[in-house]
Chain A
């Protein structure tokens, strides 16, 4: 046996020939190793290929490794128990039979292979990463079935935690964006036990990394964590826990992993561990967007989120708007008492509400919050007046939401009718008593005012808006307008309405056009020239 020579040969061949040849070679080599213990040294060739610079070679080698070691795991040809370290090795080996020695040898190769694969998870090529990940998960499965350590004691359940921890640590890289690989990993997260242990691994990892950084922002890392965590979803019922990677023969039902509450707890801990550190603002938005839908329902104690949500609510702007949704869930379903909620909501109303992306969600929630008939009159009036004032700067799509919204408020609280109907004996002109800058809705004197803004909007350029604003001229009908349809309307849809409409006659400009810059009051011509 001349391994070095052989290696050279192989290297030459792989260098010369394309991957397919190499693959065949690898396959034969794997077969050889498996067939005869004499060929055990060929493992080195395979492992060497793992470090090759060619993508194809690496992928092939990974596949070969996967095949080789999973067969070995199955055959229980790997050494059991802890691997001896450096100095002990000699002594340890000395006291072993040839068979045992072979096992130990293979076990050592296995662990080095795992290490190499873990390193490959940081490889720049996605295909390498992917195959390494798959291979590792296969190992994990094999290890789970055939534990490498002797676990006689009944309390312990066999699960390759270390391996998984390693994988998770690598996935949550601090330097590279791993969202692709993480989405590939999602496939494994469907298995209950994997998910459970991944959750605890994430918690450990996050605690370790962020504590070390003392709360400083690591956007890439946090992004990775978020994308991994947001992929985790827990079945809603205990009976849904069926998909396990490793079946525990003994006492399966007592296993933590088989309990939904444990899952929920782990999930909760994971999220809280992540959220207690400072987050970048776009991360805030991302979390808040999915919070009410995919985080809160899976937590065992959703009220624990209150700190995070209040903090987010106080940030202001779009983040506050988004925090509303989570808060609403807590208030509505978990009996949360939030002092000055409406005051804060009132102060959230800024010109930007009409321009942000989450406009539809905000108005949907605001509609919910203001649907209570027990709200004080001054509050409703303040909201109506403020919205009306803000409507003076809103685009037509927002106006089409706001105007019916205000009308609905007046409908729900008929005493608010003074806003649109306040007959006075003397015909004097009034200064608007409403105080826009006042933060307290109770002090803003909205009830003394009238909705002149809506009157103004009756001369809005868009016909639909003008019509909607015109509805305050007449007594409002009893039925509320359904604004849910209007929430998602886009400007293009508004345009389309006119564009698609076929009219028999098209009115034309009667003034003869002579020049590009002339006409329409010559505004353009006065400030611009053709040159």
Chain B
């Protein structure tokens, strides 16, 4: 599409340029202005002004040249045929055609005219100049100097090379204007002249070059002589001194900037693997130190007394004869044989000691410690021994001194035997630094059994570090398993009697860190615990209808769950079942003893902890607290509230918290209960019992207070706390309670009573108005404005072609119409011409006939006259 209008335009432009003068353009009768529908800013229109007259005449002319000719030729049978060679042969290349034609032409010429022509005066030309002429100057160029003449295009050269004969002739003509006689110089002479000239030029150039070289050398030498002077002089220049302060200021600045502490690249952050390795290496080092101390050696000494092991040592305990090593040494100018022997002995002892020590060490060494560490240590130990050997080889009088020193050091341990013993014990008591991960629960138990809680924690931490997941492939799994074992262990600690809760407490951080490392495994382990517990509880419920309160281990697990996992999640794979378990226990476990009350209160505490953050409603908690308070009510005849199972309004266990002696209030002080009280209570006297009861009630009241604060925003706050309110206000009179509890009671009643009733009528959420059904508009990607558009590329192409076809079709129709009109016009003019011709001829005939008639009549008249 692009080409067609361009062509048209170019034609039109030509027409305009050729035929339209300024007048035509300005003649309003010639110009037709095309009306625009919309005026688009910035768009240049090519067709705003048309010149119909011009274009029409142009088209007319064109038709005259083409169509008219054709029309005129119509019916004619004669034809122009191009008979040149190969004209209609499409196979042949145009060059071939030309060559062939040329050959044919030459042949034709030769064949006839020059058949007997001996003189080959056929001249080849280049730009009209005879090539033969030019060949004569071929040798003029000296190829030796090509390097120098590169890029130079003198007139002479061009002339000589490319047959610029005219120029050359001009020049020579100019030179020898006067000598008309020399004009006919022979060709040989000319060449000689040229050669001479060029040679001369060459020589001159050479000379010039040499001269310039000499000059530069001279200059260099001169400069050198001056240079020394310059170098020496400049620093001591007075002028420089004068300018010194100024310079210094600047320099100072520069230097300051240069030497200023730039942001130095910090040390590379270590990857967890590196850190873990370092950690382990550290532990290993500590471990080896510990082992050494356990062996009863001083750290420094042991590192020195390591004996040398030859690279060829087969580790078979065979030591080369010391005689080989015997070296000549002098002591005060005498052979030092005896000393040598002594030294040998001590050395031997040392070596043996060291060797045996190392062997033992190797035995003691942990399986886990890898080969590399061992090798490193040995290499380290080898160095001092080598030094020692060097010492023996040195020629020195200080030998004695060193041996004495050694003796001293060897004597030192014997002096402080008690100390060593203590150290050994300490090392024994001290924990190893690396542990293998336990494969089963019993392994873990063996590992931790008999250690203090702090040490248990250390053991777990070290096991964890030395089996870090990034150190070996299987470690992750091992540690994951270990988490499960640890949980089991905690449970066992809690079930022991008395429960070892301190140890559990110490293990918490380790559990936490492991949980952080393997959330999935921790989740699985916890889930399985709750699954088992829930399942057994359900089974017992099926059979008996009620279950005993969960044991201390379950309480610990519940607490640990709260520590490890977020309790505030809406739904959590661990905490949601845990909460369900708490609620189940609080509803299904009948309270039959003070221990049960305590367990229930622990569960309530846990429940409060679980919902503290999320403030979610735990009905069982309120039920249980109300029930617990109910247990403390003395007179159960007229209750203004209903108790919810597992509590009963009356019954054998419904007076558990009623004080047996109201006097015990006075002696009661609040103190926190041990967790073991959930299982085993040692209350000897009635007074102790009462104190325990009061503690339970105070705990309960405190929890109620917390609940009040938690739930005060719930719309049915008052309904929820109504039973507790009646209980406190009507049945637990303030007089019977100690002061602390009275205060709590007052606070609770206040917060229940003072809760603002902030409920509004329930209203459904407003429904969004349903929108009317609409026909969704078809959305078509707009790629290019103003162009025919279709959905995809092919369609667009099709559309484009269609459009083009239509346009072309229309144009062609118009052209054809114009052609026919033109033809018709031509035919008409032809007919008219013919007619007028005929008329003229007829008139002529009539005229001639009339004159003839007239002449004849005149003659006749004349005759008659």
- Cβ contact within 8 Å between B579 and A357: no
Q: Determine if B764 and A453 form an interchain contact, defined as CB atoms under 8 angstroms apart.
A: no
Q: How near does chain B come to A398, taking the closest CB pair, in angstroms?
A: 10
Contact of A529 with B512 in the complex, beta carbons under 8 Å: no
Knowing A395-B583, A453-B719, A526-B672, the reply to whether A507 touches B605 (Cβ < 8 A) is: no
Check A526/B702 contact, CB under 8 A, given A492-B538, A496-B531.
Answer: yes
Give chain B residues whose Cβ lies under 8 Å from the Cβ of A396. Answer: 580, 583
Asked if A368 CB lies within 8 Å of chain B CBs, one says: no
- Report the minimum CB–CB distance from B854 to chain A (whole Å): 125
CB of A420 within 8 A of chain B? yes
Give chain B interface residues in 542-599, CB to chain A under 8 Å. 545, 556, 559-560, 562-567, 569-574, 576-577, 579-581, 583-584, 587
Please tell me if the beta carbons of A506 and B644 are within 8 angstroms of each other in the complex.
no
B662 within 8 A of A: no
Residues of B within 8 A of A512 (CB): 509, 512
| B719 near A389: Cβ-Cβ < 8 Å | yes
Q: Decide: A507 and B566 in contact? CB cutoff 8 A.
A: yes
| 0/1 string, B767-811, CB within 8 A of A gives 1 | 100000000000000000000000000000000000000000000
Partner of A506, one of B570, B573, B612: B573
Check A508/B519 contact, CB under 8 A, given A450-B761, A492-B535. yes
Contact stretch, chosen from A193-201, A220-228, A517-525: A517-525
**Interface stretch (choices B344-352, B499-507, B727-735, B856-864):** B499-507
Q: Does B118 contact A (CB under 8 A)?
A: no
Contact A527 B673 (CB under 8 A): yes
Tell me if A278 is interfacial: C-beta within 8 Å of chain B.
no
Residues of A within 8 A of B559 (CB): 516-517, 524
What is the CB-to-nearest-CB distance from B392 to chain A, in angstroms, rounded to a whole number? Answer: 58
Q: Does any Cβ of A come within 8 Å of B520's Cβ?
A: yes
Q: B672 touches which one: A420, A491, A528 (CB < 8 A)? A: A528
Query: Does B623 reach chain A (CB closer than 8 Å)?
Result: yes
Restricting to B585-623, which residues have a CB under 8 Å from any CB of A? 587, 601-602, 605-606, 608-620, 622-623
Q: Give chain A residues whose Cβ lies under 8 Å from the Cβ of B665.
A: none
Contact at A530–B580, with CB atoms within 8 Å? no
Contact partners of A508 in chain B: CB under 8 A:
515-516, 519, 564-566
Contact of A334 with B by CB under 8 A: no
**Chain B nearest Cβ from A485, distance in angstroms:** 18
Contacts of A455 in B (CB 8 A): 715-716, 759, 762
B570:A463 contact, CB within 8 angstroms: yes
0/1 interface trace, chain B 827-841, chain A, CB 8 Å (1 if under): 000000000000000
> How far does the Cβ of B478 sit from chain A's closest Cβ, in whole Å?
20
Which residues of chain A are within 8 angstroms of B622 by Cβ–Cβ distance? 393
Q: Give the chain A neighbours of B614 by CB distance below 8 A.
A: 461
User: What is the bound-complex CA distance between A427 and B758, given in angstroms?
Assistant: 10
Question: Please, how many angstroms separate the alpha-carbon atoms of A515 and B562 in the complex?
Answer: 12
Q: With a CB–CB cut-off of 8 A, which chain B residues contact A472?
A: 762, 764
Chain B 685-725: CB-based contact to A (< 8 A → 1; otherwise 0)? 00000000000000100110010000000111011100000
Contact A355 B587 (CB under 8 A): yes
Chain A residues positioned under 8 Å from B520 (CB to CB): 506
- Known A-B contacts A492-B537, A499-B531, A528-B674; A521 and B577 likewise in contact (beta carbons under 8 Å): no
B605 touches A432 (CB 8 A): no
Contact flags A481-525 to B (C-beta < 8 A → 1, else 0): 000000000111011101101010111111011111111110110
Q: Is A352 an interface residue (CB 8 A)?
A: yes
The residues of A that contact B617 with a CB separation of less than 8 Å are 456-457, 459-461
Say yes or no: A392 contacts B757, CB within 8 Å.
no
A422 interfacial by beta-carbon distance below 8 Å: yes
- Give the number of residue pairs across the A-B interface with Cβ within 8 Å: 249
CB-CB under 8 A for A475 and B508, given A392-B716, A461-B610, A495-B577: no
The answer to whether A394 touches B759 (Cβ under 8 A) is: no
B27-35, B246-254, B522-530, B744-752: which lies at the interface: B522-530
Q: Tell whether, in the assembled complex, residue B606 and residue A524 are in contact, meaning their CB atoms are under 8 Å apart.
A: yes
The proximity string for B residues 133-175 relative to A, scoring 1 for CB distances below 8 Å and 0 otherwise, is: 0000000000000000000000000000000000000000000
Say yes or no for A419: interface residue by CB 8 A criterion: yes
Q: Which chain B positions have C-beta within 8 A of A505?
A: 519
Which residue of B509, B580, B587 has the most chain A CB atoms within 10 A of its CB atom? B580
A531 on interface, CB distance cutoff 8 Å: yes
**Residues 439-460 of chain A, each 1 if its beta carbon lies under 8 Å from chain B, else 0:** 0000000000011110111011
Most A CB within 10 A of own CB, among B501, B675, B761? B761
Q: Which residues of B contact A509 (CB under 8 A)?
A: 512, 563-566
Chain A interfacial residues counted at CB < 8 A: 74
Contact check: which of B505, B519, B644, B672 meets A355 at CB < 8 Å?
Answer: B644
CB distance from A512 to the nearest CB of B (A): 6
Residues of A within 8 A of B584 (CB): 395, 491
- Does B759 lie within 8 Å of A452, measured CB to CB? yes
* B765 at interface, CB cutoff 8 A: yes
Residues A392 and B719 in contact in the complex (CB < 8 Å), given A508-B565, A528-B675: yes
Please determine whether A424 and B761 come into contact, CB atoms closer than 8 angstroms.
Answer: yes
- A127 — which chain B residues lie within 8 A by C-beta? none
Instruction: State whether A432 and B642 are in contact (beta carbons under 8 Å apart), knowing that A491-B584, A512-B512, A516-B505 are contacts in the complex.
Output: no
A residues within 8 A CB of B642?
A: 350-351
> Are B579's CB and A462's CB within 8 A?
yes
CB neighbours (8 Å) of A461 from chain B are 579, 583, 610-611, 614, 616-618
Which secondary structure dominates where chain B touches chain A? helix
Nearest chain A residue, comparing its CB with the CB of B558: A524
When A508-B519, A516-B556 are in contact, do A521 and B612 touch as well, CB less than 8 Å? Answer: yes
Q: A394-B619, A491-B534, A491-B538 are in contact. Are A529 and B673 (CB under 8 A)?
A: yes
Given known contacts A395-B584, A452-B716, A456-B716, is B760 in contact with A523 (CB within 8 Å)? no
CB of B645 within 8 Å of the partner chain: yes
Which residue of chain B has the shortest Cβ distance to A493 in the bound complex? B538
Given that A424-B761, A430-B757, A461-B617 are contacting pairs, would A357 and B570 also be in contact in the complex, using a CB cutoff of 8 Å?
no
Q: Are A392 and B619 in contact (CB under 8 A)?
A: yes
Task: Determine if A498 and B508 form an interchain contact, defined as CB atoms under 8 angstroms apart.
Answer: no
Pick from A352, A429, A495, A529: contact of B675, CB below 8 A: A529
From known contacts A456-B617, A515-B508, A516-B504, infer whether A506 and B538 are also in contact, taking CB-CB under 8 Å: no
Q: Is there an interface contact between A531 and B504, defined as CB atoms closer than 8 Å?
A: no
Contact B764 A495 (CB under 8 A): no
Q: How far is the CA of A312 from the CA of B504 in the complex (A)?
A: 54
B1 at interface, CB cutoff 8 A:
no
Query: Which residues on B sit within 8 Å (CB–CB) of A523?
Result: 605-606, 608-609, 612, 703, 706
Central interface residue in A389, A496, A516, A523, by most chain B CB within 10 Å:
A516
Q: Is there a chain A Cβ closer than 8 Å to B466's Cβ?
A: no
Q: In the complex, what residues of B have CB within 8 A of residue A514's CB?
A: 508-509, 512
Q: Is the CB of A513 within 8 A of B767?
A: no
B676 on the A face (CB < 8 A): yes
Chain B residues within an 8 Å CB radius of A526: 672, 702
CA distance A393 to B523 in the complex (A): 31
A531–B718 Cα distance when bound, in Å, is: 38
Q: B619 to A393, Cβ gap below 8 A?
A: yes
Provide the residues of chain B in CB contact with A503, threshold 8 Å.
Answer: 523, 573
Q: Does A431 contact B (CB under 8 A)?
A: yes
Q: Are B762 and A456 neighbours in the complex by a CB distance under 8 Å? A: no
Q: Give A463 to B579 CA distance when docked, in angstroms.
A: 11
Decide if A421 is an interface residue (CB 8 Å cutoff): yes
- Asked if A474 and B765 make an inter-chain contact with CB atoms under 8 angstroms apart, the answer reads yes
Look across to chain B and name the residue whose beta carbon is closest to the beta carbon of A469: B617
* B409-443 to A contact mask, C-beta < 8 Å, 1/0: 00000000000000000000000000000000000
Question: Which residues on the B side are within 8 Å of A466 (C-beta)?
Answer: 570, 616
Q: List 9 A-B contacts (CB under 8 A).
A: A395-B584, A461-B611, A498-B576, A498-B577, A509-B512, A520-B609, A524-B609, A526-B672, A527-B699
Which 8 pairs show the lowest CB-CB distances between chains A and B? A520-B609, A513-B563, A355-B645, A492-B538, A513-B512, A452-B715, A461-B616, A521-B612
Beyond the given pairs A459-B714, A516-B505, A519-B609, 8 more chain A to chain B contacts, judged by CB atoms under 8 angstroms and listed by A's residue number, are A421-B763, A429-B758, A432-B719, A461-B616, A507-B566, A508-B516, A513-B509, A527-B605
